[in-house]
Chain A
Amino acid sequence: EIVLTQSPATLSLSPGERATLSCRASQSISSYLAWYQQRPGQAPRLLIYDASNRATGIPARFSGSGSGTDFTLTISSLEPEDFAVYYCQQRSNWPLTFGGGTKVEIK
């Protein structure tokens, strides 16, 4: 099973600041990585797939990068609605796995 390790666990930032979230895979997953956002009480929402492709309707302030074992989600300028939990997910091998999540909270 591929283990995804997200860091940091919590990121405390102010609106307008840049957020950089990390996801590290226990073995190479090529570019087969997605990012999801989950707001409190809501279902997750797909943000990024194949490491760097924005899903339909996702604002340009969200960007993804990386390949192999190291991946990054960047939010260029935080909006109030971006304070949420973010998960990475790999589709390289069965079973599909998610990272443990990074909570982006208001400082």
Chain B
Amino acid sequence: QVQLVASGGGVVQPGRSLRLSCAASRFTFSNHGMHWVRQAPGKGLEWVAVIYYDGSNQYYADSVKGRFTISRDNSKNTLYLQMNSLRAEDTAVYYCARDIKSHYLDYWGQGIRVTVSS
């Protein structure tokens, strides 16, 4: 069974940075695009970013463009999200998810909580 395990969340002050990781296993990581999706407390799902299977392309939501960077290391089967200049509105549970069929999300990690607060 596909496994996606996120780490790196926590409490951070506004304006600071945080890097999330997502360790993938039990599938060929280098064959799949990967996404980050977030969910603010009590709210719906918000897509954040995608990176293609080979890292050749990345796309971002307008709300994070210029502040967040998605990257991957196919040799380590790991996805990353570097989050800079964090704001209170970035507070959410962040999910990593696998891409299938050109941008549907078929397997999701357990979610990692990020709280931006002074």
Residues of A within 8 A of B (CB): 1, 34, 36, 38, 43-46, 49-50, 55-56, 87, 89, 91, 94-101
Give bound CA distance, A45 to B104, whole Å.
11
Q: List B4-31 residues whose CB lies under 8 Å from chain A.
A: none
The minimal Cβ–Cβ distance linking A21 to chain B, given in whole angstroms, is 14
Instruction: Indicate which residue in B45, B60, B62, B102 contacts A44 across the interface (CB closer than 8 Å).
Output: B45
Cβ–Cβ contact A43 & B104, under 8 A: no
Residues of B within 8 A of A (CB): 35, 37, 44-47, 50, 59-62, 95, 100-106, 108-111
Q: Looking at chain B's contact residues, is the secondary structure mostly helix, strand, loop, or mixed?
A: strand
Cβ–Cβ contact B45 & A91, under 8 A: no
A94 to chain B: which residues have CB within 8 Å? 59
Closest chain A residue to B106, Cβ basis:
A46
A1 to chain B: which residues have CB within 8 Å? 62
Give bound CA distance, A87 to B44, whole Å.
8
Asked, given contacts A49-B101, A50-B101, whether A98 binds B109 with beta carbons under 8 Å apart, the answer is: no
A91 to chain B: which residues have CB within 8 Å? 102-104
Closest chain A residue to B102, Cβ basis:
A91
Closest chain B residue to A53, Cβ basis:
B101
Asked, given contacts A43-B108, A46-B105, whether A95 binds B44 with beta carbons under 8 Å apart, the answer is: no
Cβ–Cβ contact B45 & A87, under 8 A: yes
Known: A43-B108, A89-B105. 18 other contacts (CB 8 A): A34-B104, A36-B45, A43-B109, A43-B110, A44-B37, A44-B95, A46-B106, A49-B104, A87-B45, A91-B102, A95-B47, A95-B60, A95-B62, A96-B47, A96-B50, A98-B45, A100-B44, A101-B45
